[in-house]
A and B are shown apart, each in its own frame.
Chain A
Amino acid sequence: MSRRSMNLTLRVWRQKGPKVRGAFVSYQAKDISPDQSFLEMLDTVNQDLLLKGEEPIHFDNDCREGICGACSMVINGQAHGPLKGTTTCQLHMRHFNDGDTVVIEPWRAKAFPVVKDLIVDRQSLDRIITSGGFVSVDVGGAPDANAVLVPKEDAEEAMDAAACIGCGACAASCKNASAMLFVSAKVSQLALLPQGHPERQRRVTEMIQVMQDAGFGNCTNESECEAACPKSISVSHIARMNREFLLSTLTRRR
């Protein structure tokens, strides 16, 4: 697999804390193997920093296989970097060249304040789910799993939407910092499944309201979110959400 190793220059956003001003700092990433992941490249840089007695670069990460949604950085101006449909942790250094300069920043959005270095606070996304991203079913009362049939196509499309990992790349790459793709993925998943129907009207209105209150902007159909989404979630879910929203404003029982 391996080619020869490479050297890169990194320009990394360093910020000690939420209330402190940050700045870009340059580092050399030396002797990087093309088979290392982007985060493993940062690990290598951090090992060097630690041995020199400096503070390592802080960044969120956990699963390192593209599913937990923890990793979150803007690489050369693109959320999760240059490779489509890929999280930062799954991006490998073979997509970079020896001598490249790589600029690394945290998500930038009003609703995602920086906590430290490349780490941001994304609790606003949890609050959106709290407002309606669920089916109100208590444990104990569920009917047999096969009691309600769901057409395969609907189940598949619901799964496409449900693949969202909640990383926030959609909002981070949107010029309005809108989290519409995130919200619509959940609304669409539950609108496609019969289990989600009883609450569909309340769900969509409340989730959109909380999204706006959290400081996310509105959608002006730029589709940057879809391009940045590591799970390639389609903007067609935003269209479905808009229909749901319209329907709910027209027919909602109060």
Chain B
Amino acid sequence: MSLDSHVPGGPIQEKWDRYRFDLKLVNPANKRKYDIIIVGTGLAGASAAATLAELGYNVKLFCIQDSPRRAHSIAAQGGINAAKNYPNDGDSIWRLFYDTVKGGDFRAREANVYRLAQVSGSIIDQCVAQGVPFARDYSGLLANRSFGGAQVSRTFYARGQTGQQLLLGAYSSLMRQVGTGKVKLYPRHEMLDLALVNGVARGIVTRDLLTGAIEAHVAGAVVLATGGYSRIFYLSTNAVACNVTAAWRAHRRGALFANPCYTQIHPTCIPVHGTRQSKLTLMSESLRNDGRVWVPKNPGDKRPPRSIPEEERDYYLERKYPSFGNLVPRDVASRAAKQICDAGRGVGETGLAVYLDFADSIKRDGIGKMREEYGNLFDMYQLITAEDPTQVPMRIYPAPHYTMGGLWVDYNLMSNIPGLFVIGEANFSDHGANRLGASALMQGLADGYFILPYTIGGYLASSSLPRVGVADEPVAGLVKENSERLTRLLSIKGKRTLDDLHREMGLLLWNKCGMSRNAQGLTEAKKRIPELRQEFWENAIVSGTDRDLNQMLEYAGRVADFLEFGELLVEDALTRAESCGGHFREESQTPDNEAMRDDANFCHVAAWEFTGVGRPPVLHKEPLTFEHVKPAQRSYK
């Protein structure tokens, strides 16, 4: 199999313009003849659905939640980047491009990243026009803040609810199209399978989560916008329904899975307490603008934080990285927290936490200003921990948050399966081995509003698609196959709850394939996962029936897929014997414990092909070339 990224030629600044010009267009009157299936209503899916419908296509849109507005994107807090340079502080498309390639530790495709930076400004224009209430200055102009990994202020925000406001903007455009009849909505529908006809993606199989009905849907193209897989760790900042099912099912049908081991562990989350937590809560990275991270200098110093004098505190990020300070990228900040805690200098009951302290900012700007910026985050922290972060420093620790890995796509955002497009967090494309803060929202909306609507048109205009009906083979056979899988799940009459099995899997990955990885641990995990999978199929409790709303059956399907996918994640981590971004292999570090890349051997995208459950996957490599941002050891010192 050859992996062609279809990156067009020409200077990087002109690639996208030229490419759009070369793409075939679907004549306006013909657009209404095409049906497009979109799975997912987060920023990526909702924006794509609205835009394609505006253009005249017929969209069938699916999501798990009862309303498209509840997709996980709603939870994003801190902000969205755009190279507007409104603050006149030296930002540009080029700088955003540069920061993103460097932040991703030189493991992303330059042309894709450049295009992302290019369209970033239009996203903000579109959102403002929709009525998104971004923060503003007294002048009435839009306000900006800085975010990790950048030295300019390019982040737009709506208090601590940026994802909510952007998603509600996209959702409102989407619902307008539902009103016109151009979008048909299928809420509470889960995609279980991808239907290929002659090797081309032509439809999906879904389960109506209310009635249990398994149905096929066909279309001219299928778009997956199904989000990331951090929930594989069980404890993560993601919503509990986040899953890998749609991507994994597509992978089983032939779509390559790229860089699954690139997972992002976010540095500022509320630490784990107790054993019954169902998820971890993010405290937006924007807090690092005004909060200072520190631990006591002396291990075992149990004094309350306010009684520890200044000279006995170690503001370790400011000490180690004087030029970026508390604003180093996430992978660097997370690793630093882990190293400090592993050295016995962590704080709190478990010793697995560091302080994030707002005292200096409150002294400087006043409590009112701090509440205006971060009020809802402070409240959320207090609800969970019963402590007021304006009085006592927050305690934070890293947690699984985002997955850079995803289905492989080319410059068109199309997978190796013709007709299967993948957008948003579900693809692998733009963030390399580490994503910068406020760039996921940007990417999801770039894909949905400004990129996919062009490239999918180019695909449709240049393909001849024979008619396919839901009763035709192989589509009809898939319905049966998927019903049988559910029957199999329901026939496991075991003794261990799904939650228990999922937790064990998550903890295993967190310990062996989390913030720090080594060959021995990964080999152990690789051996353990198939055992757990076997235990699942013999000993899980899957209650209820497949004829109605059954949350346990839904969960069982997702855990089963995590148990297959986990093995691939570990395989990828084991094979990539270098450190890069969020993937830290202990064997490959610099003398001062920073991630050390091995460009001679690993400057490529690892795209895996499925060969069967428990069978070794086949690795395909897409070499990465850097013409504009020369790979160097990243330094934030």
Contact = CB atoms under 8 A, between A and B. Distances in A.
Interface stretch (A6-14, A60-68, A218-226, A235-243): A60-68
B238 to A, nearest CB: 9
Contacts of B276: 33, 36, 40, 43-44
B497 A62 contact: no
B126 A142 contact: yes
Contacts of A51: 495, 497, 541
Contact of A129 (B139, B171, B277, B453): B171
A115 B168 CA distance: 25
B69 A166 contact: yes
Interface residues of B, number: 84
Interface in B446-490: 449-450, 453
B72 interface: yes
Interface in B118-144: 121-122, 124-131, 133-142
A4 B240 CA distance: 27
Nearest to A137: B129
- Determine which residue in A119, A125, A146, A166 has the highest number of CB atoms from chain B within 10 A of its CB, and name it: A146
A63 B383 contact: no
B549 to A, nearest CB: 5
Nearest to B156: A145
Contact of B178 (A125, A130, A135): A130
Nearest to A70: B70
Contacts of A23: none
Interface in A130-156: 130-131, 133-139, 141-146, 148-152, 155-156
B89 interface: no
B72 A90 contact: no
A149 B139 contact: yes
Interface stretch (B11-19, B159-167, B506-514, B615-623): B159-167
A47 B497 contact: yes
B384 A116 contact: no
B171 A39 contact: no
Contact of A63 (B74, B137, B173, B386): B74
B551 A58 contact: yes
A2 interface: yes
Given A90-B380, A152-B138, A58 B549 contact: yes
B611 interface: no
Interface in B491-512: 495, 497, 499-500
Contact of B497 (A35, A50, A162): A50
Nearest to A87: B383
Given A139-B50, A159-B158, A61 B541 contact: no
A115 B210 contact: yes
Interface string B92-116: 0000000000000000000000000
Contacts of A62: 65, 70, 72, 239-241
Interface SS of chain A: helix, strand, loop or mixed?
A: loop
A151 B137 CA distance: 8
B133 A131 contact: no
Contacts of A100: none
A35 B274 contact: yes
Given A35-B273, A64-B240, A130 B66 contact: no
Interface of A: 1-2, 16-17, 33, 35-37, 39-40, 43-44, 47, 50-51, 53-56, 58, 60-70, 85-86, 90, 92, 94, 115-116, 119, 121-123, 125-126, 129-131, 133-139, 141-146, 148-152, 155-156, 158-159, 162-163, 165-166, 189-190, 193, 195-196
Given A43-B499, A145-B121, 14 more contacts: A40-B277, A62-B65, A65-B282, A67-B75, A115-B549, A126-B67, A126-B178, A130-B178, A145-B84, A159-B158, A162-B168, A193-B131, A195-B130, A196-B131
Interface of B: 47, 50-51, 54, 65-70, 72, 74-75, 84, 86, 121-122, 124-131, 133-142, 158-159, 161, 163-165, 168, 171-173, 175-176, 178-179, 185, 187, 210, 239-241, 273-274, 276-279, 281-282, 349, 379-380, 383-386, 449-450, 453, 495, 497, 499-500, 541, 543-544, 548-549, 551-552
19 contacts: A1-B386, A17-B549, A33-B276, A43-B499, A62-B70, A63-B70, A63-B72, A64-B239, A68-B72, A90-B384, A123-B187, A134-B173, A134-B175, A135-B130, A137-B130, A145-B121, A155-B133, A158-B133, A166-B69
